[in-house]
Copies of this chain bind each other. A is one copy, B any other.
Amino acid sequence: MKNLTPRQYQILEALRDFLNKKGYPPTVRDIQRACGISSTSVVDYNLKVLERMGYLRRDREVSRGIDIGERERRTATVRVPVAGYIAAGEPIPVPTPDTWHLEASAEALEVAEEMIKGREEVFALKVKGTSMVDAYINDGDVVLMQAAATANDGDMVAAWLKKENEVTLKRIYREGGRIRLQPANIQMSPLYLDPDEVEVQGRVIGVLRWLD
């Protein structure tokens, strides 16, 4: 996304503040006052820029006719079930459609919408052990996954290596009749395997780490 100028950011902040506090959008002059701008035309000018950039929607000739996207107004957070642990020596516990909504008792995680970006069937796994360090993932980290049996070239996936009896997180590439698994750590060498030796268990969306 494009960078905002300080003024644009300032106006967006003022907009959100006003909306939060009052419950309805500000007028051009409300924004002008909040930002210490000396002319309404400056506000109008920047609002037009922000609209062109997609940060908001305006209705012309309408007082307070500013609409910040739904995304920003509502709870931008999603509950993600924690399906279990991910470790080197065992396949990851991918939730099935049956178990998917039975997660009431199980653990869940509150994740910002920004992390998920509207994806469905997302779950989380806690990393056990240090076998993922070549993906810069440490013991105790949380991995966000999307259930998927297939993946596109370049996707970071959880791959079950049947022969080695081991799960690993690597970027996947199809090359000729083989599959290349590329570690995030570029100093490490890729793995070349036959398609029937690898089973994609899910796509890796992101990584979360807490430090206390």
Q: Which residues of B contact A136 (CB under 8 A)?
A: 133, 136-138, 141, 209
Indicate if the CB atoms of B3 and A106 lie closer than 8 Å: yes
Indicate if the CB atoms of B211 and A156 lie closer than 8 Å: yes
Q: Please give the distance in Å from A10's CB to the nearest CB on chain B.
A: 7
| A:69-97 near B, CB below 8 Å | 69-71, 73-77
The residue that A211 contacts in the complex, of B5, B23, B204, with Cβ under 8 A, is B204
Number of copies: 2
Known: A67-B22, A133-B136. A109 touches B101 (CB 8 A): no
List 9 contacting pairs A-B, 8 Å CB cutoff, sorted by A: A23-B71, A23-B73, A75-B76, A110-B112, A110-B114, A133-B136, A133-B185, A136-B137, A138-B184
Give the complex CA separation of A97 and B6 in angstroms.
16
Indicate if the CB atoms of A5 and B206 lie closer than 8 Å: no
Give the complex CA separation of A74 and B20 in angstroms.
11
Indicate if the CB atoms of B73 and A76 lie closer than 8 Å: no
